[in-house]
A and B are shown apart, each in its own frame.
Chain A
Amino acid sequence: MVTKEYKLTIIKIIKFTIVFLIVDFVLGIISNQLFYSQETGKYARSTHAVEKTNAEIIVFGSSHAHRHYVPKIFEKELGKTCYNAGAEGQQLLYHTALQEMILKRVKPKLIVLNIDENFLYTSKQAYDRLSDLHPYYAGHSKELSAILGLKSRFIDFKLFFKSYQMNSTIVHALRYYVSPQLDYHGYRPLYGKINPNKVNSHTKEEVKEYVELIDDNFVEVVEKFIDNARNNGCELVFVTSPTFNKVNHDKNKSFIRIKEIIATKKVPFIDFFNSSDFNGKSELFHDFSHLNNDGAELFTKQLTKKIMDMNLINYNKKMIE
Chain B
Amino acid sequence: MFFNSIDFFIFLLIVLFCYWCLVNKSIKLQNILVLVASYVFYGWWDYRFLSLIAISTTIDYFVGLRLYASRDRAIRKRWLWVSIVCNIGLLGFFKYYNFFVESWVEMFFAFGYTIKSTWTLNVILPVGISFYTFQTLSYAIDIYKEKLKPTKDFIAFATFVSFFPQLVAGPIERASNLLPQFLEQRKYTYHNVSSGVKLMIWGFFLKLVVADRAAIYVDAVYNNIDNHEGLSFIAATILFAFQIYGDFAGYSLIAIGTAKFFGFHLMTNFRRPYFSASVSEFWTRWHISLSTWFRDYLYIPLGGNRVVKIRWLFNLFITFLISGLWHGANWTFVIWGALNGIYLIIEVLWFKKDRKGIATIFLTFCLINFAWIFFRANSIDDALHMIKVIFTSPGRLYIGSGDDIAASIYATLAIAILLFVEFKKEYFDTLFSISKSKYEMIRIIGYAIVVFMILYLGVFGKSQFIYFQF
Contact = CB atoms under 8 A, between A and B. Distances in A.
B455 A161 contact: yes
Contacts of A19: 441, 444-445, 448
Q: Which secondary structure characterizes the binding site on chain B?
A: helix
Contacts of B441: 19
A225 B178 CA distance: 57
Given A88-B402, A128-B462, A167-B460, A23 B448 contact: yes
Contacts of A154: 6
B456 interface: yes
A168 B461 contact: no
Closest 7 CB pairs of A and B: A163-B455, A171-B406, A20-B448, A163-B456, A23-B448, A8-B190, A154-B6
Interface in A283-320: none
Interface in A13-53: 15-16, 19-20, 22-24, 27, 31
Contacts of B187: 2
Contacts of B461: 128, 151-152
Contacts of B440: 15
A5 B452 contact: no
Given A172-B406, A175-B405, A5 B188 contact: yes
A9 B447 CA distance: 16
Contacts of B410: 168, 171
Nearest to A15: B444
Instruction: Tell me if A's interface is mostly helix, strand, loop or mixed.
Output: helix
A93 to B, nearest CB: 14
B189 interface: yes
Given A5-B189, A153-B6, A163-B452, 8 more contacts: A5-B188, A19-B441, A19-B448, A27-B449, A27-B456, A131-B460, A152-B461, A166-B456
A28 B188 CA distance: 35
A24 B452 contact: yes
Interface string A151-195: 111100110010110111011100100000000000000000000
Interface in B184-204: 187-190, 193-194
Contacts of B444: 15-16, 19
Scoring A89, A128, A151, A163 by chain B CB atoms within 10 A of each residue's CB, the highest score goes to A163
Contacts of B20: 6
Q: How large is the interface on B (under 10, 10 to 19, 20 to 34, 35 or more residues)?
A: 20 to 34
B150 interface: no
Contacts of A153: 6
B169 to A, nearest CB: 24
Contacts of B462: 128
Interface of A: 2, 5-6, 8-9, 12, 15-16, 19-20, 22-24, 27, 31, 88-89, 128, 131, 151-154, 157-158, 161, 163-164, 166-168, 170-172, 175
Contacts, number: 79
Contacts of A27: 449, 452, 456
Nearest to B187: A2
Contacts of A89: 402
Contacts of B452: 20, 23-24, 27, 163
A230 B187 CA distance: 64
A27 B194 CA distance: 24
A88 B460 CA distance: 21
B405 A31 contact: no
Given A163-B452, A166-B456, A171 B190 contact: no
15 contacts: A2-B24, A9-B193, A12-B190, A22-B448, A23-B452, A31-B456, A131-B460, A151-B461, A158-B460, A161-B455, A164-B456, A166-B456, A167-B457, A168-B457, A175-B405
Contacts of B307: none
A161 B193 CA distance: 24
Nearest to A153: B6
Interface in B434-448: 440-441, 444-445, 447-448
B65 interface: no
Nearest to A132: B403
Contacts of B194: 9, 12
Nearest to A63: B402
A144 B337 CA distance: 49
B409 to A, nearest CB: 5
Nearest to B449: A23
B458 A167 contact: yes
Contacts of B82: none
A16 B455 contact: no
B402 A171 contact: no
Contacts of B456: 27, 31, 163-164, 166-167, 170
A128 B460 CA distance: 9
B451 interface: yes
